[in-house]
Structure 1
Amino acid sequence: MARLTHSPLVSVLMSVHNSANYLEGALESIIHQTYQNFEFLITDDCSTDESPSIILRYAERDDRIRFFRNEENQGLTKSLNDMLQRAEGDLIARMDADDISRLRRFECQVSAFEEEPIPDVVFSNTRLIDKNGDLICISWRPSEKQIVDQLGQRCYIPHPTVMTRAEAIRGAGGYDESYWTGQDHDLWERMKADGADFRYLPDVLLDYRLNPDSVRAESSDDYWFEVSNWCIWNQDRWQSLAYLDRLTTWQRVQILVKMMVPHFVLRYRGQTR
């Protein structure tokens, strides 16, 4: 397997659609990484808010940013494939417009690609933050072996933490554009079938935001109910109680009942990010 030598070594891919509320934090977290040998490809997918102007302002002062705009809304999958074709780095890193990468994320991940055997996919643990940026809990994940073994049944690989070899992701055909969501799960399954080596870094290298869109909350009550559920699914049951005063009576009852259910039962229906 060839050594990684290109400059920029890392190509960061981020698709943006109406993310103005969180976008600056995401951009800042990438720009100020301790590891700096990267290009930053950003596609605005027909935003109707201030996202394009925010991206443009950053692109004008940082020549590592390559800014693209879709004439029609294409969705995440096609936007990622378009950027994947344009990327020049040996490594492809994902980032979402509402998350926060820890400052040493790229440093830690690039180091993993310098170890033998060289992996194909490197991902990390996360901590969950709410729509205001406040800590919810640290995500729970099984062991690396269990994560890989269970691909195809459930996915414990958080997409915005992933860094992968460009050769490996392109060799698998990139993202399947028939998927509007879940395109990452499908990709990992195909890469696994191709014999890809997955490496899990248990360190928290990204703050994963649960915003109302990502949890499909239709009201404030629904949002905090979902946040409470995420705490339980991620084995931080006591933290779920912190949101009881924001829930309806029926939602409180459900949370209290779920606190009594063993985690191995809940995890088959829950979610981990």
Structure 2
Amino acid sequence: MNEKPLISVLMPNYNNEKYLAEAIESILNQTYGNFEFIIIDDCSTDDSWSIIQDYAKKDKRIMAFRNERNLGRPKTYNRLLELISNESFFFFFMGSDDVLKENMIDVKIRYFNNFKEVDGVGNSIEYVDENLNFIKKREYPEKKEDIKKNFLIFNPISQGGMCLKSYLKAEKFNEDYKVCLDYEIWTRLIDKGYVFENLKESYYLYRQQKEQAKQKNLKLTLINTVKIKSKYIFKPKYFSIKSFLRFNLEILLIFPPKRLILWVFYKTL
């Protein structure tokens, strides 16, 4: 690959004015510069849109859009996919309250160049607090075989930092899922035979405040997880005792009080 390929960065935003500038700066400060930065504001009620417009005026790589009405995550994600340029080599989603380490794009391009058969490459993520203080690191299975072996036990891929080759923009998010969007699409793509790998290093800082939303939606998360797994778990090529036991545990967890669900859910991650 002689010329530096175009990379697409996709950022949905809703009411993240407090952290938005920091997230945008972490993209603009990448050591790799040939990217298009597509941001869609989903009708924020705070000052987000003004912040986005200010950055778009300063940097021509930023393309700023605003939904005419609040569409929610699935439809906004799919709209972002439709805006990717035909010349793009790969794309990734970036949370508007998260931070990217400055060499992530460079590292992912080198990986794709060295491993042509890989369709998507992710990484570990670092959970941080609202001030970017380190909380914990979460690692994911690295090799494609381990990802495939575990995808019906737990989600083996983080959306944070997952870079996908641009032909995968045709695989839209399922708009029936308000939560578990990423898990639904990973399972679908793995089932179709696409190859994913993860790097052990972390290039993505994930603000822990999102866990609050996850806890509020925990019951729906469990329901959707069971719904997604039920499409694949009884296929002979995927079936295992461990995945079957986990599947039944998640069914049982739908019914107890939320406090107990939270305790068991995080103990079994």
Asked if Structure 1 and Structure 2 have the same fold, meaning a TM-score greater than 0.5 normalized by the shorter chain, the answer is yes
Residue 86 of structure 1: how far off its partner (Å): 1.2
Q: State the number of aligned residues.
A: 220
Larger displacement relative to structure 2 (132-141 or 185-194): 132-141
Relative to structure 1, the CA distance from residue 181 to residue 4 in structure 2 (aligned partners, 3 Å threshold; closer, same or farther) is: farther
**Cross-structure match for 2:172:** 174
2: distance between equivalents of 1:214 and 1:47? 20
Shift of 1:160: 2.0
For residues 111-122 of structure 1, the aligned pairs below 5 Å read 111-122=110-121
Task: Please give the per-residue CA displacement for 1:145-176, whole angstroms capped at 9, x wherever unaligned.
Answer: 43332223321311121110111341xx3211
Give the 3 Å change call, closer, same or farther, for CA 4–194 of structure 1 in structure 2. Answer: farther
Displacement over 4 Å in runs of 4+: 265-268
Scaled by the length of structure 2, the TM-score of the pair is 0.75
Superposition TM-score, scaled by structure 1 size: 0.74
Tell me what 2:129 maps to.
130
Contact 1:124 1:158 in 2 (8 A): yes
Q: Deviations over 1:112-145 (max 9, x none)?
A: 1111333111101111101222111222434434
- What one-letter code is carried by the residue in structure 1 that aligns with 2:180? G
Q: Work out whether residues 89 and 166 of structure 2, in 8 Å CA contact, stay in contact via their aligned partners in 1.
A: yes
Q: Give the corresponding residue for 1:57.
A: 54
SS at match of 1:21: helix
**Deviation by residue 1:10-48 (Cα, 9 ceiling, x = unmatched):** 111110000011111110100110111110000000101
- 1:168–1:196 contact (8 Å) kept in structure 2: no
Q: Which blocks of at least 5 consecutive residues in structure 2 are unaligned?
A: 216-259
Alpha carbons of structure 1 residues 85 and 169: separation in structure 2 relative to 1, 3 Å: closer
Q: Structure 1 stretches of 5 or more lacking a match? A: 219-253, 259-264
Match of 1:38 among 27, 35, 38: 35
Partner of 2:75: 78
Identity value in percent: 31
1:196 aligns with 2:194: yes
Aligned to 1:165: 165
Equivalent pair of 1:4/1:90 in contact (CA under 8 Å) = no
Q: Whole-Å Cα distance in 1 between the matches of residues 40 and 5 of structure 2?
A: 19
SS for the counterpart of 1:199 is: strand
User: Are 1:153 and 2:153 an aligned pair?
Assistant: yes
Contact 2:141–2:198 under 8 Å retained in 1: no
Q: Is the 8 A contact 2:13 2:41 kept in 1?
A: yes
Per-residue displacement from partner, 1:53-94 (whole Å, max 9, x unpaired)? 111111000000010100111111111111111101121111
> Paired residue for 1:27, among 24, 29, 44?
24
In structure 2, what is the equivalent of residue 184 of structure 1? 182
AA of the residue aligned to 1:208: Y
Q: In 2, are the aligned partners of 1:17 and 1:51 still within 8 Å (CA)?
A: yes
